[in-house]
């Protein structure tokens, strides 16, 4: 089929989509063929999103058809070059089907019956029993970062404000920053990677560990801005991570452990039920016959 003919053929198909035609087994034109396999017009309905222009629709249909042809050609080539044993996929398909059904069944049971609620007490207990598993891989801090236009910055006042991390003090900082700051972040109730903080300031620090051990303030100016980082706490790489930093990870670990136990219980229950209801027989030979 020439390109011009192909274009008008796809326009015909597109018109059918637009008018919502429903093709019967008789009135369903073949779009492409590879050997005995055929792609019908009805097979490609729905691939064009509503509102797509005619030109883009033709491109989408054309691309879909070419991919179908390539895939069928690969299947044909594989069947020509593999032995009958290699192309007999009955066992593999059965195993895949069984695995998929079991997976869906287990997931449905988990969604319906598995307890996913986790208390703070459970998280804390897990943390205390497994502290050595939570070594930090980076330096983390609790800090306040401010970037204030130079004409509005009063360093003494700002340092004093950042030293007060009570609720009232933090609210005062937020109110000030909403009026004057170019940028700000408050990491007091959470831990953050120290490198993330440093990306906000025009300063290079070679040895982060030494710097954190000796400093609780970073203060500098450029032509436009005054920068302040007030560090209120820190933990160094390879130290035990604080609970607040790994709380989310611990919750995931507890859930995953519950999933493992829950899925094992499903298998055990099904097996026990099979025994009770005499659903199976196991025939074992000693191999002498």
Does residue 151 carry a pLDDT above 50? yes
Phi (first) and psi of residue 114, to 5 degrees: -80, 135
Residues 6 or more apart whose Cβ sits within 8 Å of residue 258: 114, 115, 116
Residue 197 lies in a domain: yes
pLDDT recorded at residue 26:
52
Domains identified in the chain, total number: 2
Does one domain contain both 214 and 151? yes
Does one domain contain both 56 and 140? no
Residue 255 lies in a domain: no
DSSP state of 277: T
pLDDT recorded at residue 254:
97
Return mean pLDDT, the chain.
Answer: 88
Does one domain contain both 144 and 67? no
Does residue 142 carry a pLDDT above 80? yes
pLDDT recorded at residue 194:
97
What CATH code is carried by the domain that includes residue 210? 3.10.50
Give the domain-ending residue among 24, 51, 84.
84
Does residue 172 carry a pLDDT above 70? yes
Does one domain contain both 20 and 80? yes
pLDDT recorded at residue 27:
72
CB atoms within 10 A of CB 235: 19
- At 11, the pLDDT band (50, 70, 90 cuts) reads low
Residue 151 lies in a domain: yes
Residue 113 lies in a domain: no
Q: At 143, which helix (H) or strand (E)?
A: strand 140-149
Residues 6 or more apart whose Cβ sits within 8 Å of residue 172: 161, 164
As beta bridge partners, residue 143 has: 187, 231
pLDDT in tens, 71-129: 999 988 988 888 888 878 888 889 999 999 999 999 999 999 999 999 999 999 999 99
Residues 6 or more apart whose Cβ sits within 8 Å of residue 118: 251, 254, 255
pLDDT in tens, 218-265: 999 999 999 999 999 999 999 999 999 999 999 999 999 999 999 999
Give the domain-ending residue among 67, 84, 101.
84
Phi (first) and psi of residue 83, to 5 degrees: -75, 165
Does residue 3 carry a pLDDT above 90? no
Residues 6 or more apart whose Cβ sits within 8 Å of residue 9: 1
Residues 6 or more apart whose Cβ sits within 8 Å of residue 94: none
pLDDT recorded at residue 196:
94
For residue 198, what are the domain limits? 131-235
pLDDT recorded at residue 30:
87
Does one domain contain both 135 and 72? no
Residue 7 lies in a domain: yes
pLDDT recorded at residue 287:
54
């Amino acid at each position: 089929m020439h390109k011009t003919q192909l274009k008008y053929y796809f326009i015909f198909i597109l018109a059918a989509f637009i008018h919502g035609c429903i093709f019967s087994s008789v009135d369903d034109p073949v779009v492409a063929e590879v050997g005995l396999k055929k792609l019908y017009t009805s097979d490609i309905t729905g691939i064009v999103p509503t509102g797509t222009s005619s030109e883009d629709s033709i491109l989408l249909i054309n691309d879909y058809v070419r991919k179908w042809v390539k895939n069928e050609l690969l299947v044909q080539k594989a069947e020509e070059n593999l032995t009958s044993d290699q192309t007999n996929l009955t066992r593999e398909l059965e195993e895949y089907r069984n695995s998929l059904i079991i997976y869906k069944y287990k997931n449905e049971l988990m969604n319906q019956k598995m307890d996913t609620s986790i208390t703070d007490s459970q998280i804390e207990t897990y943390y205390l029993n497994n502290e050595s598993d939570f070594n930090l891989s980076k330096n983390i801090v609790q800090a306040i970062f401010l970037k204030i236009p130079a004409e509005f910055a009063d360093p003494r006042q700002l340092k004093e404000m950042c030293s007060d991390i009570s609720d009232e003090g933090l609210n005062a900082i937020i109110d000030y920053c909403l009026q004057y700051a170019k940028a700000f972040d408050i990491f007091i109730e959470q831990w953050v990677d120290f490198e993330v903080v440093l990306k906000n300031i025009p300063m290079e620090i070679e040895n982060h560990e030494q710097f954190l051990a000796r400093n609780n303030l970073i203060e500098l100016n450029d032509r436009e801005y005054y920068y302040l980082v007030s560090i209120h706490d820190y933990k160094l790489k390879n130290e035990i991570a604080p609970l607040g930093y790994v709380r989310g990870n611990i919750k995931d670990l507890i859930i995953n452990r519950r999933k493992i136990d829950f899925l094992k219980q499903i298998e055990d229950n099904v097996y026990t039920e099979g025994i009770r209801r005499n659903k199976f027989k196991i025939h074992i030979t000693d191999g002498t016959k």
